[in-house]
Each structure stands twice: as structure tokens, then as C-alpha cells.
């Protein structure tokens, strides 16, 4: 599983940090960052939820 985030689209709602805190964080500007890509494998459901809830579709989960 690979995750890409589009920081240009991010509107800082924080849904990803709330639902998959092991994987996502917000930087100083409140913009999404993947702080531990390895953690995604441990909880793919949380990552999928974060992607679904993101209001600006800034998170893409690639299942390759």
C-alpha cells in the first residue's frame, strides 16, 4: 500500500490526523503530511477511512 497526499488540495480539516494519527500529521501550516508511511500497513482501514473522510480528496491510497 502506498499513500500520496496533495498538499495543494489540503484544506486542513484534520480528519486524517483524527482517524489515522499513526500515519498522518499536520505541519506547522496545518497542511497534511505522511509522517509514518510504514504505519499504514498496520491499519489499512484507518488509512482508507482518512482518505474517504478527507473533504478535499487530498489523500490517495494506491494498492500496488
Partner 1 sequence: MTSTGPRVVDFPLRRPGEAFPPPHYQDYRGERGLVVCHLPNGNRVWLVTRHEDVRAVLTDRRISSNPDHPGFPNISQTMGVPRQEQIPGWFVGLDSPEHDRFRKALIPEFTVRRVRELRPAVEQTVDRCIDGLLAAGTEADLVADFALPVPSLVISALLGVPPADRDFFESRTRTLVAIRSSTDQQRDTASRELLRYINRLVAIKQKWPGDDLISRLLATGAIDPREMSGVLMLLLIAGHETTANNIALGVVTLLAHPEWIGDPRVVEETLRFHSVADLVSLRVAVEDVEIAGQQVRAGEGIVALVAAANHDERAFACPHAFDPARTERHHVAFGYGVHQCLGQNLVRVEMEIAYRRLFERIPGLRLAVPAEELPYKYDGVLCGLHALPVRW
| φ, ψ at 11 (rounded to 5°) | -115, 15
Q: For residue 44, state whether it binds partner 1 (rule: CB under 8 A).
A: no
**Residue owning grid cell 510504514:** 38
Q: For residue 18, state whether it binds partner 1 (rule: CB under 8 A).
A: yes
Q: Nearest Cα to 26, choosing from 54, 62, 48, 2?
A: 54
In the complex, minimum distance from the CB of residue 36 to partner 1, in angstroms, rounded to a whole number: 15
Judged by CB under 8 A, which of 1, 41, 42, 57 binds partner 1? 57
In the complex, minimum distance from the CB of residue 53 to partner 1, in angstroms, rounded to a whole number: 6
Amino acid at each position: 500500500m502506498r499513500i500520496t497526499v496533495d498538499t495543494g488540495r489540503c484544506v486542513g480539516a484534520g480528519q486524517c490526523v483524527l482517524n489515522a494519527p499513526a500515519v498522518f500529521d499536520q505541519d506547522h501550516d496545518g497542511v497534511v503530511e505522511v509522517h509514518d508511511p510504514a504505519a499504514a500497513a498496520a491499519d489499512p482501514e484507518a488509512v482508507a477511512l482518512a482518505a474517504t473522510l478527507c473533504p478535499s480528496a487530498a489523500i490517495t491510497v494506491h494498492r500496488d
